[in-house]
Structure 1
Amino acid sequence: MSEKYKFRDPKGIYFVTGTVVHWIDLFTRKEFKHIIIDSLKYCQKEKGLIIHAWVLMPSHLHMVISTSGKPLETIMRDFKKYTSRAIIKELDRINESRKEWLVRAFGKSADKIKRVTSYKVWQDGNHPIHLDANQLQEQKVDYIHNNPVESEVVDESVYYWYSSARDYSGKKGLLDVVPLE
């Protein structure tokens, strides 16, 4: 694994990305989105995850995060592991038209890796970037909030439910956010 992308400063603020294998547009259904939201809430409450900014797009999750508890690498590992299992379980529960294709894609991704026994939903790594300057923090927060606008999902970032842009505009979003100044 590259030495470049690691959580080196335990007190630092980081930009991270979680991407679905093959960039599959998985988070188009509310059930899968809510697995992510509920898991992030759990990580905030039980593991000390601090979310400064976030956006959940169809194939990936961007966040600016820090921690007041467990190490970020532990939180992210557990988050991905739990949500992977929950998503596979949810695929069995709901009427998803792409179920067979998704299960096959996640299964094939797992076949290539010895440590994964059944399904692989997330790509390896989080690509953490240490945001040690205010300018860098501001740039990443703007990037996160403009992601749905650039993807032409909404006209204005505050209208996208699955983002902290609402919190930065004075409205309450889906997650507790500690805005950066």
Structure 2
Amino acid sequence: MPRVARQKAPEGIYHIMCKSISEVDLFKDDEDKLKYLSLVKKYQKTYQFRVYGYCLMDNHLHLIIDANGSDISRIMHSINFSYAQYFNRRHKRHGHLFQDRFKSKMVKDERYLLALSAYVHNNPTDIKGYEKEPEKYEFSSLSIYLGLRHDPYELVDDGFIMGLFGNNAQSARENYVELVFKCDDKNFREEMEFLNEGTEYRSYRRILVRDMRPEEIAEYVSMKMDVKEIKLYTKNARDVVEAKALFVLLMRSLCNFKCSDICRVLGNITNARVSKLSSTGLKLIDEDERFRGFIREFIKVYGYTECKS
């Protein structure tokens, strides 16, 4: 039977659920869960999407992702492919880890978004010891929502959903906790668990438009790095590796380009080389003070957003 086409929209907010194959847990220990969250953060920097919540259980996970103009399939493929490689290497196994494709459901309205967030954060109540205190579970974003701990990865945008409860932080948190504990209702859970596909949800938020041209990116990178633009297209130009890495990363992030698209732009380069340059670019903006805010600065100069309501 052919697969049903995945419902997608660049401005969509998605409930993502991933499960492992039946004979193996998706996460064997806390180290695995920490690794998965670090990969979500890594690719958040690449694709500039937003995370509104998460919960990692032993054999499955939930994410609430605002694609922010990017492609949700590309986002999740990058995260899950990297995690599966790590998992198999660490645990000395081979073969598939995830059960089929990830499941995704587009959020259809504000009410559903609130209910979904509460449902995701209610998941730890199924774990012994957390039945009455899901906020104490380390691998859920609930404690971040409630202001009980700092977000170690600066991964979650909790303000968007909590802002729907009003401007008073204390009362918003009290009302949110009450909603979380309502999620034990059987009908509520069934509605959340992918029984029906929703329609796209649009709220008053800004969406990053991903139609920047490679020529604009090349101009920006050559100016910022003080290199000749033609060198960005030159094979084996070792003196401009950093500039080329940033060029590749920006194309991947802001043009919605796949590796094959970038190969065509650069010419005479392999997918593997593009992937390596992208990783180098990501490391530069993550670890080198010279390039902090590099993507954000480019968006300010060349990019623009659309307001969805």
Whether TM exceeds 0.5 here: the answer is yes
Structure 1: state its 5+ residue gaps. 93-102, 108-118
Report which structure shows greater RCO (CA 8 Å, sep ≥6): 1
Distance 2:99 2:152 in 1: 25
Q: Partners in 2 of 1:10 and 1:56 — Cα distance?
A: 25
Map Cα deviations across residues 51-72 of structure 1 (whole Å, 9 max, x no partner): 1010000001101111235311
CA distance in 2, matches of 1:131, 1:149: 23
Question: What letter matches 1:2 in structure 2?
Answer: V
1:17-96 alignment, distance < 5 Å: 17-22=17-22, 24-68=24-68, 70-92=70-92
Going from structure 1 to structure 2, the CA distance change for 1:44 and 1:22 (only over 3 Å counts) comes to: same
Residue 91 of structure 2 aligns to a residue in which SS?
Answer: helix
Q: Deviations over 1:116-157 (max 9, x none)?
A: xxx111112222111121111111111111101133351312
Distance 1:66 1:34, change over 3 A: same
**Where has structure 1 moved over 3 Å in runs of 4 or more?**
none
Match of 1:157 in 2: 134
Q: Output the CA distance in 1 between the equivalents of 2:48 and 2:7.
A: 15
1:178 equivalent in structure 2: 157
Question: Is the 2:26–2:97 Cα contact (8 Å) retained in structure 1?
Answer: no
Describe the shift of the 1:69–1:86 C-alpha distance in structure 2 as closer, same or farther (beyond 3 A).
farther
SS in 1 for 2:103: coil
Equivalent residues, number: 155
Query: Residue 108 of structure 2 aligns with which residue?
Result: 132
Over aligned residues, Cα RMSD in angstroms?
A: 1.8
1: CA distance between counterparts of 2:104 and 2:22?
A: 20
2:146 corresponds to? 169
Whether the aligned pair in 2 keeps the contact of 1:47 and 1:69 (CA below 8 Å) is no
2-structure distance, mates of 1:53, 1:126: 17
SS of 2:96 mapped into structure 1: coil
Which of the two has greater helix per residue? 2
Structure 2: unaligned runs, 5 residues or longer: 165-309
TM-score, L = length of structure 2: 0.47
Taking the aligned partners of 2:139 and 2:39, their CA distance within structure 1 comes to 14
The alignment partner of 2:22 has SS state of helix
Question: Which of these two proteins has the greater Rg computed from alpha carbons?
Answer: 2
The one-letter amino acid of 2:67's match is T
- Letter of the 1:166 partner, please give it: S
CA–CA separation in structure 1 for the residues paired with 2:22 and 2:70: 29
SS at match of 1:34: helix
The normalised TM-score by structure 1 is 0.78
**Contact kept? 1:49, 1:65, Cα under 8 Å:** yes
SS of residue in 2 equivalent to 1:21: coil
Quote the Cα distance in structure 1 between the aligned partners of 2:39 and 2:129.
24
Aligned-residue offset at 1:23: 6.4
Q: Secondary structure at the match of 1:36?
A: helix
Distance 2:68 2:107 in 1: 17
